[in-house]
Structure 1
Amino acid sequence: MSSKHFLNDPTHLVTTALLSIPHTNPSVACDISNKIIYLKPSSSSASPSQVSLISGGGSGHEPSFGSFVGPGLLSGAVAGTIFASPSAEQIRRCIQHRVSREKGVLVIVMNYTGDVLNFGMGVEKARASGLQVDMVVVGDDAGVGRARGGKVGRRGIAGTVLVLKISGGLAAGGASLKEVSEVARLAAKNLVSIGASLSHVHVPGRAVNETSSDELQESEVEVGMGIHNEPGSERKVTDLPGLVKTMLSHCLDTSDKDRNFLEITSSDEVVLLVNNLGGVSPLELGGITNEVVEQLANDWKIKPVRILAGTFMTSLNGLGFSISLLRVTDTGLGSGRSMLELLDAPAEASGWSAAISSETWKKREEVAKEAESVDVDEVQPSNIRIDFGQVKDVLTTALNRVIVAEPDITKYDTIVGDGDCGIGLKRGAEAILSMLEKTKKTDDLLIFLNNIIQVVEVAMDGTSGAIYAIFLNALAHGLRSNASSSPQPVTAEVWARALEVSLQSLSRYTPAQPGDRTLIDALHPFVKTLSKAGDIDSAAKAADEGAKGTRGMKASLGRTVYVGGEGWQGVPDPGAHGLAELLLGLSEGLKK
């Protein structure tokens, strides 16, 4: 047993925690292979046909999101590993196989790059299959101001649960997908939050000294700390009244042009959520809540019409709390469907304050008919032909080059990120190499590419995995759109046109452009050079030059914005470097 945790194996910890949820709420089931908690069809609300609500993200924020699945709240929740987004394939399976799709599906996700990309790709794949799906992104954290947040925007934190509860109440009442989506966006727009913590959290499976180098000093508190150990806006030595004063000021002071995202006046109806980040005792949280309520009344003339205090969204065992303020706004939907009525509506979810009814408990002995979905997605053949042996050899050369480059990529990402980029790329490369040895030979490029896409979506998670998966799916669409009416070998011109389509599709899910210090700095010149010159050697060299050009470039997207350490000026962007190595490997393989 670890001195820090009873369960120190992060994989086993996440798995067993998910398996525990149906024990506490008989209305839900667990698809453990995809880390999905979902509402049993027999346990839906009175109306069998309602908009399904899905959320999720990295594990470590419990009871968010799995324990919010239940009648009146979420229909499904998808979990990633600790502090990492779930894969797009997990999300697609939840949308297409685990929730009702009759009236549409709304996905609500917090504003983190990996979550937005992976959930976005899952949404797009569901739309492509003909489903009605919408997505709302919540960014409520005032801890990072406009200047520092840049293109990333505000992070999503505990205020997200208010958006989920209001949306869940509306969906349970039979509202349309359009109505639920609009109200979710309205709630998110009228929301502001901020957190504070006395220490960074320790992640199970990591050495104790991995999280102690930047630890807070005695009596020091970090204002605005993120829920993944991201730095806040400042560190200070203060008491609770001084801390709450600072936090409320960041949320409410209209003179702070960098952090003031929402104007709340004494005439507004306000919902207050005081959230335990995991390590604060209920006794102490009560004292904190009282301080917040008194300061709101005395200093801001705000008397909340609803006060929720408890554990809703944690950062593992974080020794801190967050404050969220929701400005109650007219939904325009009439009686019974105001924000307050929807917030007060009953919900049977073990992570919410409403109790599970006796009737539901009686159903716990029912034998669940959990037939595993076949989940076979047939790929339509195309007229684009390849030489399987040649393509396999070229791809093998490129993937081996990525594997060899992993130590450098990891070193760079340790300096500017969270150190997992190289491992993720290596894992994906090894999985594709394994697939190449086992897969049936085919001369159909689209079938071959789909085999790679399936591997990437399962083997690679996080931001890089999402970007590669979105790009490859869009590439498949671009290739099919440019295929001839009769079987023909693939040409450089077809590749170039398809890659242009992929690049354009990727821009829908990330605002990254050349100069933002991301893998786009390598991808963009590769695609543009290939389109212009029709020569992969020149295109790969352009990608390499683009990656090298990220040295000294300040990041404006991704986790590097928050956690980039010292020495970033001297290293290239890890994602751009990894992609450049892959593309150089393709060029090298073609010359053999």
Structure 2
Amino acid sequence: MSNKHFFTDPSSLLSSALHAVTLTSPSLSLDSPNKIIHRRSKNDTQVSLLSGGGSGHEPSFTSLVGSGLLTASVAGTIFASPSASQIRTAILNRVSTKKGVLVIVMNYTGDVLNFGMGVEKARVGGIEVDMVVVGDDVGVGREQGGKVGRRGIAGTVLVVKIAGALAETGASLKEVGDVARLVAENVVSVGASLNHVHVPGRGASEDDNLGSDEVEVGMGIHNEPGSERVKTDLTGLVKKMLKQMLDISDQDRGFIELKKEDDCVLLINNLGGVSVLEMGGIANEVIKELEGSYGIKPLRILCGTYMTSLNGMGFSISLLRLKDTGLGSGKSMLNLLDAPAEAVGWAAPIAAKTWEAKRSDVSVQELSVQDAEEETPGNLKFDFSLAKKVVTTALKRVIAAEPDITRYDTIVGDGDCGIGLKRGAEAVLEVFGTSKETDDVLVFLQRVTKAIEASMDGTSGAIYAIFFNALTSGVREQSPTSSSPAAEVREKMQVGIWARALETSMIALGRYTPAKVGDRTLVDALAPFVGTLSKTGNVQRAADAANEGAKKTKGMKASLGRSVYVGNEHVGEVPDPGAYGLAEILLGLSEGLK
């Protein structure tokens, strides 16, 4: 695992790389604050396609924006999903919404939650939006995937290409969405790698390095462990990978039946660090094994770099079974795959007429006034000084706990939970320093929510953003029609308004995640807090219940989140990082009220 990089600051790297996309493709612009690559000209005659995810998978998805492909892409930090705030801005301000918007996202918890949040926000505004979630990785079987399901990997690129070509014809949102789902249902993929990758800016670790003669089958694109580590040559590896994809008798991994008489497309994808020479040898081995052992001769063979894991020393194989779209021969999956596209990440050259078009000086856009949300006041008043004291105590407590949260998440996840919580806490603290004091509860909550949406990405960011938006709505629904004295409102909120609003927030969160108590997530701390507060009206007892819930996760097997994919022997030795971090916040709230 190489830990040497030309960039040691991941934020600087991401900013530079995004700007470079607009330089190599003159039809695109960059919304720098929101990390959105989008087409410079909006087109009201076709459905807009939006995708994205954590950075580090380039050319997916930033370099797949262009004619015949995506309308816009939203980038998160390395291996972490973009925030709900970024996605909402992309839908509302960076693409045409006249014919609707289709969101295509890979099946990772943070991506599904954050993009789902953006979709819901758009729907509230009356925009027609659909979302397709792609889970093509057979490296994760039915048993291991459980409630989470299969991960999305390189097969997603085929979904994007076919849906993008169909959108270009002027098809309706329903037609484009239906075809995208059809492709997603008929594509399977699996990857393999010689080693894990090192993320720029993070400390180096040799713990997960593979042996010099080992290869990991089914490794995820975020360094998640695969299904097994084997010692074999390329021929044996390809046989094993294709068997996982094509053995329909395997009840755990047999997701599609591909017969030799079926038409199909083969995609062989470089995970970033394999030489072009070796990729040619790998492609030859895959094609030879497909025909020799299965009698399958793909109608199209794509070999190149489409979805990476930084500089991953590995490759993935994807097979798409071609099905009838029901839209006529001119709009078959194969026709749409063959249709011209103009994007630097697709194997089609940028047209001369695009280069000759007048370049605009708006390739890098700053956040404009219309992008900002207005604060909507309410009638519920509170003691701002007390709120500042209580919330500050809670936030400083979770900031102090960041090293432990990060350590726990390094063991059971990807190590970004603690940093994400710290970033969110610091953003809310900044609200106290830069915003005018307010005695309006709803204005205060909206400021906190906006700070969370703008600063927190990944799964935790999505969950906190959804929860606080719902909490704000819940408080608004129960606001009095006129102002009440601060002390009276404070007491009512402790035993009434807050409890009921928290209950509605739990219901809202349940629409986007199936997480329940016992799944080893932050819900193990959140649900006991809400339940105890509703029953007792006592914040101290509720916080203690949350703390106990977090402690209980120590021995739990994960059912949701990225920990599902981590078969680490130390998982049982630490609590769930998200639950632990939330418990620290809630204990801090209790402490601040004393």
Q: TM-score range by the shorter chain?
A: over 0.9
- Equivalent runs, 1:70-469 vs 2, <5 Å: 70-207=66-203, 209-210=204-205, 212-368=206-362, 372=366, 373-374=368-369, 375-469=371-465
Identity %: 66
CA offsets, 1:396-437, max 9 Å, x none?
A: 122222223223323322332233222222222222122112
The number of aligned residues is: 584
Task: State the partner residue of 2:501.
Answer: 498
Deviations 1:131-160 (A, max 9, x none): 212211111001111111221111110000
Structure 1 residues 478-520: Cα deviation after superposition (integer angstroms, max 9, x where no partner): 1122223333435231212211111011111111110001110
Q: Is the 8 A contact 1:415 1:564 kept in 2?
A: no
In the superposition, relative to structure 1, how do residues 236 and 506 fare at CA in structure 2: closer, same or farther (>3 Å)?
Answer: same
Deviation at 1:370, TM superposition (A): 6.8
Secondary structure (helix, strand or coil) at the match of 1:385 reads coil
Aligned pair partner of 1:583 in 586, 590, 593? 586
Runs of 4+ residues deviating >6 angstroms: none
Decide whether the 8 Å contact of 2:105 with 2:112 is kept in 1: yes
Q: CA deviation at 1:368?
A: 4.4
One-letter amino acid of the counterpart of residue 88, structure 2 = R
The answer on whether the counterparts of 2:114 and 2:459 sit within 8 Å (CA) in structure 1 is yes
| Higher relative contact order structure (alpha carbons within 8 Å, sequence separation ≥ 6) | 2
Aligned-partner SS, 2:75: strand
Give SS of 1:165's match.
helix
More moved, 487-496 vs 89-98: 487-496
Query: Who is 2:4 aligned against?
Result: 4
Q: Which residue of 1 aligns with 2:559?
A: 556
Following the alignment from structure 1 to structure 2, what is the Cα–Cα distance between the partners of residues 18 and 368?
14
1:564/1:435 Cα in 2 relative to 1: closer, same or farther (>3 Å)? farther
Q: Deviations over 1:82-132 (max 9, x none)?
A: 111111111111111111111111111111111111111122222222221
Q: Give, in angstroms, the shift of residue 564 of structure 1.
A: 5.4
Q: How many Å separate the matches in 2 of 1:368 and 1:543?
A: 48
Kept in 1: contact 2:191–2:316 (CA 8 A): yes
| Structure 2 match to 1:510 | 513
8 A Cα contact 2:30 2:363, kept in partner: no
Q: Is the 8 A contact 2:51 2:105 kept in 1?
A: yes
Secondary structure of 1:194 counterpart: strand
Q: Partner of 1:384: helix, strand, or coil? A: coil
* Other-structure match for 1:27: 27
Moved more, 54-63 or 396-405: 396-405
Structure 1 CA distance for aligned equivalents of residues 537 and 3 of structure 2? 59
After TM superposition, give the deviation of residue 3 of structure 1 in Å.
7.3
Structure 2 distance, partners of 1:573, 1:66, is 32
Contact between 2:3 and 2:198, CA under 8 Å: does it hold in 1? no
SS at structure 1 position matched to 2:320: strand
**One-letter code aligned to 1:36:** I
CA contact (8 A) 2:324 2:333 kept: yes
TM-score where L is the length of structure 2: 0.95
Report if aligned partners of 2:32, 2:364 keep a CA contact under 8 Å in 1.
Answer: no
Q: Write the letter of the residue equivalent to 1:67.
A: S
Deviations 1:450-473 (A, max 9, x none): 000111111222111111111001
2:527 is aligned, of 524, 529, 532, to 524
Q: 1:3 to 1:446 in 2, by over 3 A?
A: closer
- Stretches of structure 1 that go unaligned for 5 or more consecutive residues are none
Whole-Å separation in 2 of the counterparts to 1:577 and 1:376: 33
1-side partners of 2:265 and 2:3: how far apart?
39
Unaligned regions of 5+ residues in structure 2, if any?
A: none
- TM-score under structure 1 normalisation? 0.95
- Provide the alpha-carbon RMSD of the alignment: 1.7
User: Distance between the aligned counterparts of 2:572 and 2:199, measured in 1?
Assistant: 28
- Give 1:165's aligned amino acid: K
State the alpha-carbon separation in 2 of the partners of residues 309 and 200 from structure 1: 22
Query: Does the Cα contact within 8 Å between 2:29 and 2:40 map onto a contact in 1?
Result: yes
1:578 Cα deviation from its structure 2 partner:
1.3
